[in-house]
Amino acid sequence: MRDDKGRLAVRHVTTLANRACTQGRNLLLVGLKTFNGQLEFYSVDEQEVLATAEHFMASHIEWDPTGRYVATTAVGLQTDNSFRIWSFQGRLLFEAAKDKLSQFNWRPRLPNLLSPEKEAELLKNLKQYTKKYDEEDEALLLQADADVLQERQKSMDEWKAYMARRSEHIKLLDGFKREMYGPRYDEKPYTLETVTMEQVIETKEEPYKP
């Protein structure tokens, strides 16, 4: 922006609320209340705007303890009190209207049990730990697949054993029938049918005498 003499200068126009994520490198620029809830999600690392959005008459914003989500709320209104939950990239994840909404707070996160030195070491060697746990996850998946295959093989073996017992039973039954019926056992199957026939033996005509 240039001043009255044409020189480059910075001039204060207005002040917007901004909230930095305490667990990351992201900013949320918000025009609260009379600025109609204009939102800009900004990445400090990339130095660029990730997304723009709007929450009409938003009055408060709250980052969650992990730094991955942020909530905008519109409270103190006669109507249309509401809250919305966004990802740090600016994607709307959830929204709800609550007439009597007065405050929005995230559930507190448990304190970190690691010392700052240990946490810094973990962050420094994060790729090594990630590779290690990825290998463990892969091993667990392979074991799960092996367990499934083993269970399937067990079911198949049980089915084959049942079919073998069934086949033996059929052979014994066949031998019993052959011994019982003798040569008739090899006869082809047949059916019995009952047939009724009418046959005229003799026809004789006689005059009618009343």
CA distance 140 to 151: 16
pTM, whole model, 2 decimals?
A: 0.48
pLDDT of residue 161: 92
Tell me which of 118 and 187 has the higher pLDDT: 118
* pLDDT at residue 162 is higher than 60: yes
Strand order in the sheet with 38-43: 17-20, 26-31, 38-43, 48-54
pLDDT of residue 18: 52
Mean pLDDT on 119-131: 85
* pLDDT at residue 164 is higher than 80: yes
Domain layout of the chain by residue ranges: 17-97, 116-182
* pLDDT at residue 2 is higher than 50: no
pLDDT digits (tens, 9 = 90+) for 55-109: 988 888 899 888 889 999 998 877 788 999 999 999 999 999 988 888 898 988 8
Fold exhibited by the domain 17-97: Thrombin, subunit H (2.40.10)
pLDDT of residue 53: 92
117 to 22, 80, 121, 176, 203: CA distances (angstroms): 19, 47, 6, 84, 126
* pLDDT at residue 10 is higher than 70: no
